[in-house]
């Protein structure tokens, strides 16, 4: 028994001697792992601290601005939000504490954010659209001057057949046939000046210069010849100057219409149509009447003073603007009218009064972007019969003028805009096509 115990002790001692080097060899490895773990914990703590600071800054920047009051979210609310986001706080003695107290103090000491500047004032002027008609819908601001050079071209053609005689049977005519084909080209260059007297009232002056060219294919009047003749004539001179006033009647708004009243006065500064010489008056001798009866020089004015009141409305409906107007042109009668007759003498006529013209138009403007806009509209005028004395002039009838218009506007700069309008005549008496180019420039 004693020998067994001695042998067990020797065996245990030998085992202890064999395991001692292994234990001594594993001690340094455990120290290295502990150091690495400690370093990782420190890095994780520093990164978590940086993440908390960035979260506070992002929350402060996203906080809504209030006119009176603190806008940033408090640090306690941020901590609660992070707790709801499943972010576990560090535990243990080795977990460092994030220095959140200075950030909270800075957030509490920061002054409240307030609104900077003033809200923009609502502009009471009507919205701008691509102009189609002669009367613009946007008023000029007070003290501002707008110069608008423009160039307009129009072309029209008409065929006329006049039968002078009587018929024996429906298929046989005894008499003369007057056939005329007339082609007219008109170019009008004008300069308009608009000045804003107030924010609601503007004045406009327009001075045009007119060039006209007509080509007529016809037979000579009161002759039995069947030979057609080509007759060319033209005229160039200043046209009828105009003066207009426009006043904005109401304030309008985003959901309310703008109403603008206008009054336009037209002079007769252009060449009078009663003062031109016709082909007949130069070629007529005695009682033999020959010639085409066409003027040798075309007039550039109407020959009558006129005044035209109007009412224009604009209805904003983002992104479009609906507009339209109604007007009435009153022509004043003349009693000093005379014309050239045979032998170069002048014949005085009775008083002549052109018929009044009732007009209306409507359309829609659409903004394509911050620089360009597009407009589509229709313009119609109904002109009454002309009277000589109190009797309608023979052959004078009520005339209907209808035009379909397309307009385009492009803002070249802050003070200059390019406007282009194309018109297509829908009635026989309306020009077949018209093209207008305007470049308003503000000063």
- The answer to whether 433 and 421 have CB atoms below 8 angstroms apart is no
Quick one: pLDDT at residue 426? Answer: 94
CA 238 vs CA 212, 242, 271: distances in Å:
11, 12, 8
Quick one: pLDDT at residue 106? Answer: 43
Rg (CA), the chain: 46
Q: Which tokens go with 379? A: 């313009």
CA 246 vs CA 263, 385, 439: distances in Å:
7, 29, 20
Query: Residue ranges of the chain with pLDDT lower than 50?
Result: 1-2, 4-6, 9, 11-12, 14-19, 22-25, 64-75, 78, 80-109, 166-169, 171, 173, 281-289
CA distance 261 to 89: 74
Task: Note the pLDDT tens digit of each residue in 152-203.
Answer: 999 998 876 555 554 444 545 455 555 678 889 999 999 999 999 998 999 9
| Domains of the chain, each with CATH number or no CATH | 21-86+97-109 (no CATH), 145-442 (2.40.160.40)
Residue 331's nearest CA partner among 285, 383, 269, 256 is 383
Give the length of the chain.
Answer: 443
Q: Alpha helix locations (H) across 210-324? A: 279-283
Quick one: pLDDT at residue 221? Answer: 52
CA distance 413 to 198: 24
CA distance 213 to 184: 6
Residue 410's nearest CA partner among 437, 391, 434 is 437
Quick one: pLDDT at residue 375? Answer: 94
Quick one: pLDDT at residue 130? Answer: 62
Quick one: pLDDT at residue 116? Answer: 54
CA distance 282 to 391: 30
Quick one: pLDDT at residue 177? Answer: 57
**How many percent of the chain have pLDDT more than 90?**
37
pTM score, whole prediction: 0.64
Quick one: pLDDT at residue 239? Answer: 93
Quick one: pLDDT at residue 179? Answer: 61
């Amino acid at each position: 028994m004693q020998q067994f115990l001695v042998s067990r002790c020797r065996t245990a001692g030998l085992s202890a001697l064999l395991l001692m080097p292994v234990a001594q060899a594993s001690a340094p490895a455990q120290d290295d792992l502990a150091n690495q773990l400690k370093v990782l914990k420190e890095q994780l703590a520093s990164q978590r601290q940086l993440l908390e600071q960035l979260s506070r800054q992002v929350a402060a920047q996203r906080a809504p601005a209030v006119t009176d009051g603190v806008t940033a979210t408090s640090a306690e609310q941020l901590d609660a939000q992070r707790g709801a986001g499943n972010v576990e706080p560090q535990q243990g003695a080795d977990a460092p504490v994030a220095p959140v107290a200075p950030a909270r103090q800075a957030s509490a000491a920061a002054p409240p954010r307030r609104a900077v500047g003033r809200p923009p004032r609502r502009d009471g002027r009507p919205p701008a659209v691509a102009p189609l008609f002669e009367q613009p819908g946007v008023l000029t601001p007070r003290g501002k001057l707008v110069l608008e050079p423009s160039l307009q071209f129009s072309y029209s053609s008409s065929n006329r057949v006049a039968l002078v005689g009587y018929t024996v049977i429906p298929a046989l005519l005894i008499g003369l046939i007057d056939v005329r084909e007339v082609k007219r080209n008109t170019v009008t260059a004008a300069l308009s000046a608009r000045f804003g007297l107030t924010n609601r009232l503007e004045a406009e002056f327009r001075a045009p210069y007119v060039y006209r060219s007509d080509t007529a294919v016809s037979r000579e009047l009161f002759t039995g010849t069947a030979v057609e003749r080509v007759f060319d004539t033209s005229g160039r001179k200043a046209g009828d100057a105009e003066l207009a006033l426009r006043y904005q009647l109401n304030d309008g708004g985003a959901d309310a219409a703008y109403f603008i009243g206008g009054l336009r006065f037209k002079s007769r500064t252009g060449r009078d149509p009663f003062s031109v010489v016709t082909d007949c008056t130069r070629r007529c001798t005695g009682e033999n009447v020959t010639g085409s009866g066409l003027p040798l020089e075309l007039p550039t004015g109407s020959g009558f003073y006129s005044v035209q009141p109007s009412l224009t409305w604009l209805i904003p409906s983002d992104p479009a603007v609906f507009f339209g107007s109604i007007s009435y042109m009153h022509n004043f009668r003349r009693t000093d009218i005379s014309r050239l007759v045979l032998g170069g003498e002048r014949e005085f006529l009775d008083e002549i009064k052109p018929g009044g013209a009732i007009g209306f138009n409507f359309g829609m403007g659409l903004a394509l972007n911050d620089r360009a806009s597009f407009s589509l509209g229709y313009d119609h005028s109904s002109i009454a019969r002309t009277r000589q004395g109190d009797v309608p002039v023979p052959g004078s009838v009520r005339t209907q003028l209808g035009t379909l218009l397309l307009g385009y506007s492009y803002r070249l700069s802050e003070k200059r805009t390019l406007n282009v309008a194309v018109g297509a005549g829908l009635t026989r008496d309306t020009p077949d096509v018209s093209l207008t180019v305007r470049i308003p420039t503000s000063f």
